[in-house]
């Protein structure tokens, strides 16, 4: 754990008017530093490490979809969480990706300071890079604490972003099939 980060959290507590030495806060700087390191551990990961060779030859050329992958990320503007789910579809071209790798790819990018739009694009590009698919579609649906806890304080708002690559972008029937399978 970073002693420097722990010291900064202690300074933040003091700047808020708190006493970092009071009983309930004595260990908070260390816990907060440890939590932040966990919440941003995606910076220490790479696509090659995540995929770890789990790309397999396959004659499958029909659409593959993984739905409702939970995601937890942090808004880079306010460092507040956004929480949601990700849906990924791809059209294999001779290679398929191990199922758990989709969740690991989502987590790798979500565990960085992010905006949802960029997160969606990073996931789509990673799946494309890992599989060389004919097409990739990614939809992220999330609720942002920066909208809910501060600012406009809108409790029921959510955001949906999508990125379509290859046949999902260029072929309307493929795009429609993906959207129908995700939302039905």
Annotated binding-site positions = 75, 78, 146
Query: DSSP string spanning 21-40?
Result: TSGGGTTHHHHHHHHHHHHT
Phi, psi angle pair for 68, to nearest 5°: 60, 40
Could you tell me which residues are annotated as the binding site for Zn(2+)?
75, 78, 146
H helices present in 3-150, as ranges: 3-15, 28-39, 47-51, 99-110, 116-131, 145-148
- Rounded to 5°, angle at Cα 104 from 1 and 80: 55
By three-state DSSP, how is residue 156 classified?
coil
């Amino acid at each position: 754990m970073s002693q420097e980060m722990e010291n900064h959290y202690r300074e933040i507590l003091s700047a808020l008017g708190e006493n970092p030495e009071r009983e309930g806060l004595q260990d908070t700087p260390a816990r907060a530093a440890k939590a932040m390191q966990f919440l941003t551990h995606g910076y220490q990961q790479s696509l090659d490490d995540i995929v770890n060779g789990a790309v397999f030859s396959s004659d499958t050329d029909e659409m593959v979809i993984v739905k409702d992958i939970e995601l937890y990320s942090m808004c880079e503007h306010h460092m507040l969480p956004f929480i949601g789910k990700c849906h990924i579809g791809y059209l294999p071209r001779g290679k398929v990706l191990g199922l758990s790798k989709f969740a690991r790819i989502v987590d790798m990018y979500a565990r960085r300071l992010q905006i949802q739009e960029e997160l969606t694009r990073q996931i789509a590009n990673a799946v494309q890079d890992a599989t060389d698919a004919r097409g990739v579609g990614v939809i992220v649906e999330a609720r942002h604490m920066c909208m809910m806890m501060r600012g406009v304080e809108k409790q029921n708002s959510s955001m949906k972003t999508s990125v379509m690559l290859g046949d999902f972008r260029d072929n309307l029937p493929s795009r429609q099939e993906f959207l129908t399978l995700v939302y039905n």
